[in-house]
Structure 1
Amino acid sequence: MFNLFKRKEDNTPKDVKALRDALLRFIKVELQKSEGGEGRNIKGIHLFFLTNPAEKHIFESVVYATEPMRFKDEVQRIADDFALGLPEDWEMAVSYEDALPMDAIKVPDIDASIFIRTKENTVQKTGSAYIRVLSGEAEQEEYHITSEVTKYNIGREKEVQVKDGFFRHNHIAFPGNSANESNKYISRQHAHIEWSPEHGCFILFGDEGGVPPQNKIKIKQSDNDSLIKLNAIQIGHKLQEGDQIILGDSAVIRFSYNSEALNELNTSG
């Protein structure tokens, strides 16, 4: 539970304004995943607070409970800044619970979570796709990925020990002893791909070894020449048909929702 008198090293925001700022920052990060007008599929945002009667007034102050539209307006300004295209009738809901729902996204350092509701007819519950290695040497030339697997790790070597002492399994692995020069610049924990049931697509995230200053990930989409860079592990990129992904300096993989399309793309260059 929230406690204004937690120990100094605790990261929990210590007052109403700090709580509100932290909550809005988290909402901003989640909404950024819907940049480029994708917010039109959002029906509403539901905030859940884990609280008890003695502390409820704190969270009521966070969301301006006596002015129901005020907090929603602040979220709307965030959406406008990123041109999300939220529909005019999107809804903001707030609940105070004894337990946070499992399908909501937990807010770090705050006893709260958010659930972003989307239009059911736009959400694909399951999916599969293919990753083709264009440059660099991986254990396979092509990988079939599905929504049944929580996430697919990408990196140098198949089994690696990371700095916390635990071992990481790279599903898409580039051998470290390869003579291919591109492999040398891929981190052991470079990136991963997750299926998002909320967005109905696969999302690419940079991992600790794959973002600046340690390394880099760049994406070029098939329908334009702009370059997308992943600079933080919290913000991912929704993969689209034909996306090319550069890992490190020169290793390149291509994403497609069907294997035949990959063959056509490779033939056309």
Structure 2
Amino acid sequence: MSFIDTLKTLFGLTPSRVDQPTDQPNDTEGTLPSPKPAPSGLPPAAQRRDQVVRFIVDKLRPYQNEPGAAPVGLRLCIACSSPEEEESYRVALRTNQPGKFQTELNRHLADNYISLSKNWRFESEFYQGELPDCTYREGNLGLIVLDGSKPDGPPQLARLVTVAGQTEQTEYLLDPTQQTTFCIGRGRTTQTSSGRVRTNDIVILNDNDPGFDPEKGAGNGAVSRAHATIRYNMAQRQYALLVDAGGLPASGNKTKIFHPDDRMERADIAGMSYPLQHGDQIELGGSVTLHFELR
């Protein structure tokens, strides 16, 4: 060190050393982002279902403890802003499981002392845009309450298609504008115990009928000549199956309805109406099966 530098040091004239910044470890390096918390509450479909149930129950409170004024049906109208929203409502209403949402809704209505007719029907319709005229409205939901005082719209066409056994026709159109009662039995005509001649509209072939195929009609003999009847209710726009004397267990026979949700219903009570829904299969005598479709 020179003499001048020594003097500068003695009198404190040397520049102070600037501390160099040191690299600090980055706490964020090598760390994973925190996961987003899972959404709480009901899943989207369950939320939609709860919304619909609360809406219907709330709007039907005028019918509490009024069994004499019970509606025969409900039509739910839903306005959707996108296909995704419509699909979420379809999942909520369990449209792929016919009758299941109606059963759940019926339980909620009963819990609130709201009675509907015995064979009441539930329908749902989706709209892109405005709702139609409804009995009740709230947001994007509308409810039309159907009563039995007058028909709601034109008669509902249906058809029966043979899926097991052999019938005179492979399918039958049910047109309520032509008739509202359709008799089912083996052979074209038969005489009942009262002496009246009954004419069947849905004919299961006898083994001596023209066109009978022993292979297709092997089980036809199990069907009674007067087995069952399908009736159409104009006010309710509803088809129902009634089992005639020949199709009852008392006559050594049986009749069943297989619903689309895999439920099986035994139709074994005389005079009782068994409502039919789209996709039902009617089994006669355990061997002939007719598929019911609305059109």
Query: Which range, TM-score by smaller chain?
Result: 0.5 to 0.7
The change in CA–CA distance for 1:119 and 1:207 in structure 2 (over 3 A counts) is closer
| 1:197 maps to 2:197 | no
Structure 1 length as normaliser, TM-score?
0.52
In 2, Cα distance between equivalents of 1:252 and 1:84: 35
The change in CA–CA distance for 1:153 and 1:119 in structure 2 (over 3 A counts) is closer
Shift, 1:228, TM fit: 0.3
In structure 2, what is the equivalent of residue 5 of structure 1? none
After superposition, residues 61-76 of structure 1 pair within 5 angstroms as none
| 1:147 maps to 2:204 | no
Query: What do you get for the CA RMSD once the two structures are aligned?
Result: 3.2
- Structure 1 stretches of 4+ with a deviation exceeding 4 A read 82-91, 119-122
Q: 2:165 aligns with which of 136, 141, 154?
A: 136
Between the aligned residues of both structures, percent identity stands at: 26
Q: 1:157 aligns with which of 179, 183, 187?
A: 187
Structure 2: give runs of 5+ residues left out of the alignment.
1-62, 71-105, 117-145
Query: 1:7-51: CA deviations, max 9, x gaps?
Result: xxxxxxxxxxxxxxxxxxxxxxxxxxxxxxxx99x7617xxxxxx
Shift, 1:201, TM fit: 1.2
Q: 2:276 aligns with which of 230, 239, 245?
A: 239
In structure 2, what is the equivalent of residue 216 of structure 1? 254
| 1:183 maps to 2:220 | yes
The answer (yes or no) to whether the contact 1:135–1:253 under 8 Å persists in 2 is yes
The change in CA–CA distance for 1:136 and 1:119 in structure 2 (over 3 A counts) is same
Structure 2 length as normaliser, TM-score?
0.48
Q: 1:168 aligns with which of 189, 194, 198?
A: 198
Structure 1: give runs of 5+ residues left out of the alignment.
1-38, 46-81, 92-116, 259-269
In structure 1, what is the equivalent of residue 35 of structure 2? none
Query: How many residue pairs align between the two structures?
Result: 158
In 2, Cα distance between equivalents of 1:238 and 1:124: 19
The change in CA–CA distance for 1:174 and 1:119 in structure 2 (over 3 A counts) is closer
Query: 1:94-132: CA deviations, max 9, x gaps?
Result: xxxxxxxxxxxxxxxxxxxxxxx9266994551110100
In 1, Cα distance between equivalents of 2:173 and 2:287: 22
Query: 1:175-196: CA deviations, max 9, x gaps?
Result: 2114212210000110011111
The change in CA–CA distance for 1:129 and 1:163 in structure 2 (over 3 A counts) is same
SS in 2 for 1:254: strand
In structure 1, what is the equivalent of residue 156 of structure 2? 127
The answer (yes or no) to whether the contact 1:128–1:145 under 8 Å persists in 2 is yes
SS in 2 for 1:213: helix
Amino acid in the other structure paired with 2:228: A
Structure number with greater Rg is 2
In 2, Cα distance between equivalents of 1:254 and 1:217: 14
The answer (yes or no) to whether the contact 1:219–1:229 under 8 Å persists in 2 is yes
The answer (yes or no) to whether the contact 1:124–1:197 under 8 Å persists in 2 is no
| 1:206 maps to 2:243 | yes
